Amino acid sequence: MNFDKELDARGLNCPLPILRTKKALAEMTSAQVLKVVATDPGSVKDMQAFAKQTGNELVSSAETGGEYTFFMKKK
């Protein structure tokens, strides 16, 4: 999937992946896509909750080998 920016949140724990995602999105323009890679299993549910509450679109969410990859489209 195409993305405009990538955020490495590996090794970070709650709430840092969400805070860094928010910060990264703030520097982007509407409809741009942010890729986030995290290792915190709690980030799966948190990313969904973040998207739902902020209006940004969680385009996809996948896990491979203990790493979680998210694509978030900015509102």
Residue pair 36/9 in contact by the 8 Å Cβ criterion: yes
Catalytic residues, by residue number, are: 14
Residue 9 or 33: which CB sits closer to another protein? 9
Nearest distance from residue 68's CB to another protein, in Å? 14
Residue 12 or 28: which CB sits closer to another protein? 12
Closest CA to 16 of 45, 38, 49: 38
Cβ-based burial of 66 (10 A; exposed 0-12, middle 13-18, buried ≥19) = exposed
Interacting residue ranges for another protein, rule: CB under 8 A: 11-16, 18-19, 21-22, 39-40, 50, 53-54
Nearest distance from residue 2's CB to another protein, in Å? 25
